[in-house]
Structure 1
Amino acid sequence: MKLGFDAKRVFHNTTGLGNYSRDTLRILAAQFPNHKYFLYNPKPGRVSRLTITTNMVLCMPKAKVWQKLSSLWRQKAIVKDLVTDKIEIYHGLTNELPIGIEKTNIKSVVTIHDLIFVRYPELYSYIDGKIHFKKFKRAAQVADKIIAISEQTKADIVEFLKVDAAKIEVIYQGCHAAFKEVYTNDQKQQIVEKYSLPSKYLLNVGTIQERKNLLTIVKAIKNTSHHLVVVGKETAYTEKVKAFIKANQMEDRIHFLQGVAMDELAMIYQMASIFIYPSIFEGFGIPIVEALYSKTPVISSKGSCFSEAGGPDSIYIEPHNDMALKQAILDIEESEILQNKMISNGLEYVQRFNDDVIGEQILKLYKSL
């Protein structure tokens, strides 16, 4: 098959949507090498985290006018290139499909990650919310199939976008191979020294924004001796967190890291005592999966999709209850039996997110079209 993909975020995004796009392409190209994978990128990329294999074709706007108007090309004019390239199935990896694809013979798939902008409109500007809703709804309506990355997202698509549930397949995200690797003590020690990591620490990973709820972790460990390592891009919300840290003289115990390579991040996960992810709402929660592969106990939030990612042996708390979080940390630390159970059962649970399982599910969906 000739398979086309919206690859913008493959080459321009280093976080969730970029990771999903890269992992999907990596899994498919490795597992099913006889197909051709056309990666449509509107302009030269600044992120080079995907190994380009011989069965991948990099595609940019063919006409000079669209090289200058790359955003418009991705939204609509790309369809002409898809027809020229004889693409059989086009997959919008990040919530969107180009206008007019429904008027061609090309079958289309769209992955919808979450509808947080509908559930929590206060976290988005009015204009951004309206634009997102229009794009997502149109893509969901014209797509031949929709991939939802969790049962929670599928339920939201049905409720808010009014789409028939039979059109939606739940296929979970893959996880980068770095988190499944075994690293030596020498390699880990190099990371400890490079980032001045404490000998024992709690870990939080993700963009530092209000929805991710970092402040609750900081409050939970305020009157303890715990160290917390935070890995993620900073936003305006970070200043609110740092103000609390400063007011409570916790600067020496909260460690902020950015620009961490994937293998470095994997080692940081593996050396953490507990991974804490008290987010308010997510489409899935891939950091939880990364932690389980890393054999690190997980505390996350009740509700949303978190138990789908974390399984029955992770601990879930009300996201704003810092006292419950503090108790959960202590419960894990004080019981080696509980630690071992969370690690072994978590590793068993997370095998459902292995590459071979996900690849088979995606290709089966493509073949159904």
Structure 2
Amino acid sequence: MRIGFDAKRIFHNSTGLGNYGRDAIRILHRYTPIEKFVLYNTAPSSVDRLDILKNILIKYPKGWFWKKFSALWRLGPVSKQIAKDKVDIFHGLTGELPAGLKNHGIATVVTVHDLIFLTHPNFYSFFDRIIYTKKFQYAATNSDKIIAISEQTKRDAVQYLGVDPEKVTVIYQGCNDVYKKEYDGEFKEEVRRKYDLPQNFVLNVGTLQERKNAFTLVQAIDGTDHHLILVGSEKKYAHKIHAYIEDNQLQSQITFLKNVGDTELAAIYQMATVFCYPSICEGFGIPIIEALFSKTAVITSKGGCFPEAGGPHSVYIDPLDVGALRKEICRLFENPELRKDIEEKGYRFVQKFSDESVAHNLYEVYKSVLV
């Protein structure tokens, strides 16, 4: 089996969609008999993001024109190159497929992560909504199979894209292996000293943007003596958070971290007292999985995809209810035995997102489109 992948984000995105692609390649490489992985990349990456080389070919645009206009190459002209490479299946890892693959008889699979631009359009510009809708509608209509990363995303695909439910397979994501390892006390203390972390703290991981709703979490910390660590890059929305912190003199209670490596972040997850993720909408919520693998109690949002990731024993709140969020944070800090019970049950639940399970389910989809 020779499978091609849209690899732009594998090599050029250090977070969400990039992590999904890299993890997919890693676990398929380890747990399935796929003979060749052909990764179509728009341009060489300045950072090594994929440490697997065996059975992997990396392909770039050919000719000066397509090298210069690689974004256009990715939309359609790449299909001729894919056909020449004798690819059996092409997998669009991020909701997109190039035009023309059907003409070459190539089977197609597309992963849809979320349809937030349709379900919560206020978080996107008018032009972004138009572009994303056209791309996703084309991919959903022309793919042989659709992979949704949660039941919520499947429901959204059926409702907003009009796809046949039988065409959609839900395959949950896993997470990087670094979050599944137990780190020793010496390493954790090194990380604690490096980032000047307190002994007990609330952790949040994710880009500081409106839909991830860190502002509500900052408000919930106000009025407590708990420390909050926010890990992630900052969008314009972060100005609102910084202004609130300054106005309410919370600088000593809140730490911002950026560009934290995976291994150090895994140690921070394990040191956290509580992980809090009051996001308004997600496709799945990988940080929740990372926290559960880290044996850290999780507070997250009611409804949507969040119970799928958090399981039956995490704590759920209305993400915009500052008082409820503050109450649950304080309750978990004040009840270590309850917190320990949630941690242990969450860790047992999260084993369903193992690499072996994800790899098996992906491979079964690939086999089904070759029948």
TM-score above 0.5: yes
Partner of 2:63: 63
Q: Name the CA distance, whole Å, in 2 between partners of 1:351 and 1:49.
A: 26
8 A contact 1:13–1:47 mirrored in 2? no
- The Cα of 1:279 is off from its aligned counterpart by 0.3
8 A contact 2:295–2:343 mirrored in 1? yes
Q: Bigger shift: 210-219 or 44-53?
A: 44-53
Q: What do the CA deviations read for 1:213-247 (whole angstroms, capped 9, x no partner)?
A: 11111111111111000000101110101101111
Partner of 2:169: 169
Call closer, same or farther: CA 1:215–1:267 in 2, change over 3 Å: same
SS in 2 for 1:275: strand
Q: Name the CA distance, whole Å, in 2 between partners of 1:87 and 1:215.
A: 46
Q: Name the CA distance, whole Å, in 2 between partners of 1:124 and 1:103.
A: 33
Q: What do the CA deviations read for 1:80-105 (whole angstroms, capped 9, x no partner)?
A: 01100000000000010001112221
* 1:35-50 to 2 correspondences below 5 Å: 35-50=35-50
Q: Is the aligned partner of 1:189 residue 2:204?
A: no
Q: What do the CA deviations read for 1:134-179 (whole angstroms, capped 9, x no partner)?
A: 1001100000000000000000000000000000000011210000
- The Cα of 1:340 is off from its aligned counterpart by 1.8
Partner of 1:219: 219
8 A contact 2:208–2:235 mirrored in 1? yes
Unaligned runs of 5+ in 1: none
Q: Provide TM-score, normalisation by structure 2.
A: 0.98
Partner of 2:289: 289
Q: What do the CA deviations read for 1:174-206 (whole angstroms, capped 9, x no partner)?
A: 210000111111111111111111221100000
Q: Provide TM-score, normalisation by structure 1.
A: 0.98
Partner of 2:88: 88
Partner of 2:345: 345
Partner of 2:72: 72
Q: Name the CA distance, whole Å, in 2 between partners of 1:289 and 1:53.
A: 27
Q: What do the CA deviations read for 1:273-329 (whole angstroms, capped 9, x no partner)?
A: 000000001000000000000000000000110000000000000001011011111
Partner of 1:280: 280
Q: Bigger shift: 284-293 or 42-51?
A: 42-51
Q: Name the CA distance, whole Å, in 1 between partners of 2:47 and 2:344.
A: 35
- The Cα of 1:34 is off from its aligned counterpart by 4.5
Letter of the 1:336 counterpart: P
Q: Name the CA distance, whole Å, in 1 between partners of 2:102 and 2:133.
A: 19
What's the Cα RMSD here? 0.9
Q: Name the CA distance, whole Å, in 1 between partners of 2:28 and 2:189.
A: 34
Q: Name the CA distance, whole Å, in 2 between partners of 1:185 and 1:49.
A: 28
Q: Name the CA distance, whole Å, in 1 between partners of 2:347 and 2:41.
A: 36
Q: Name the CA distance, whole Å, in 1 between partners of 2:225 and 2:175.
A: 32
SS in 2 for 1:252: helix
Partner of 1:303: 303
SS in 1 for 2:188: helix
Q: Structure 1 vs Structure 2: percent identity of aligned residues?
A: 51
Partner of 1:29: 29
Size of the alignment, in residue pairs? 369
* 1:314-329 to 2 correspondences below 5 Å: 314-329=314-329
Q: Is the aligned partner of 1:335 residue 2:335?
A: yes
Q: Name the CA distance, whole Å, in 2 between partners of 1:30 and 1:51.
A: 13
Q: Is the aligned partner of 1:242 residue 2:242?
A: yes
